[in-house]
Amino acid sequence: MKILVCVKQVYMPGTDGTVDPAAAGMKYNPANFRLNSYDEYALEEALLIKERIHTTEIHAVSVGPERVEAVIKRAMEMGAGEGIHIRYDKEEQLTPYQIASLIASYARDKQYDMIMTGVMAEDDMQMQTGQMIAGILDYPYASSVILQEMRGDATVYVERECDARQRQCLEMEMPCILTIQSGINRPRYPSLSNILRAKQQKIATLDASDLRIPESREEIIRLFPPENKPKGVFLNGTQREKASQLLKILHEKSFL
């Protein structure tokens, strides 16, 4: 069995950045990036399959500039056997469709039985890349997967997390795409042996231009930070005094 796990480098939550008008994106300190936590669940799920099916190969792929090699190495330290870097160094940010097209172009003739992604990326939260890879490759897919079990050599049983605590149960023929929900497992820490192996192993690098980047189907016309909201008002005094102050405010705002 052969599994491709898509990993993304995201900036750390709470990290301060600056708006880049030229690229319609954000600029961050390169030191403040890490592996998308949702992709860790996808990688762990692939590793659990390998523990049950020992012949399984796991590859990790990421799209982006040179700095994304850090998250590919992290995936290899966790247990991925090979790392693939689709290098894209331009300032313009790629859309989910363009990223999906690059990954699909790479994976098309590699005979992967399963492609996994995290349910979403922590930075843009668009939840599109996995589904678009499935659409481009014409593979069946399931999103928000909270449970998966192999059924034979070519079928996988999955349960999708739906609204109101409901689950949708599916049996899918492989090759297929799964986007993995958080909470499905507990991602492991890298072992010392895997860390040492990853240090010695080279990452396969492809230039994005060699895979043909399609024209963007969308355009970010403006990016701006949220406006500062007015601060709340604290009422002081006894309960009666606070109630009187609140009524006065509601009258002034024409709420009463």
- Summarize the confidence of residues 92-97 as an average pLDDT: 86
CA-closest candidate to residue 41, choices 147, 164, 169, 152:
147
DSSP E strands in the chain: the ranges are 2-6, 9-11, 18-20, 25-27, 33-35, 57-64, 82-87, 114-118, 141-151, 155-161, 167-173, 176-180, 204-207
Per-residue pLDDT band at 26 (split at 50, 70, 90)? low
Confidence at residue 16, expressed as pLDDT on a 0 to 100 scale? 64
Confidence at residue 25, expressed as pLDDT on a 0 to 100 scale? 66
Tokens linked to 76 = 């290899």
pLDDT tens per residue, range 29-41: 667 789 999 999 9
Mean pLDDT comparison of 11-15, 24-28, 59-63, highest-scoring range: 59-63
Q: What percent of the chain clears pLDDT 70, i.e. is strictly above it? A: 92
- Summarize the confidence of residues 115-137 as an average pLDDT: 93
The yes-or-no verdict on residue 23 having pLDDT over 60 is no
Confidence at residue 222, expressed as pLDDT on a 0 to 100 scale? 76
pLDDT tens per residue, range 182-237: 999 999 999 999 999 999 999 999 999 898 888 888 887 777 777 777 778 889 99
Q: Which domains does the chain have, with CATH numbers?
A: 2-211 (3.40.50.620)
Which pTM does this prediction carry? 0.83
The yes-or-no verdict on residue 3 having pLDDT over 80 is yes
Mean residue pLDDT across the chain:
90
- Summarize the confidence of residues 17-32 as an average pLDDT: 67
Bridge partners (DSSP) of residue 170 are 158
Q: Do 232 and 27 form a contact (C-beta atoms < 8 A)?
A: no
Confidence at residue 39, expressed as pLDDT on a 0 to 100 scale? 96
CA-closest candidate to residue 60, choices 12, 116, 111, 140:
116
pLDDT tens per residue, range 135-156: 999 999 999 999 999 998 899 9
CA-closest candidate to residue 113, choices 246, 10, 2, 248:
2
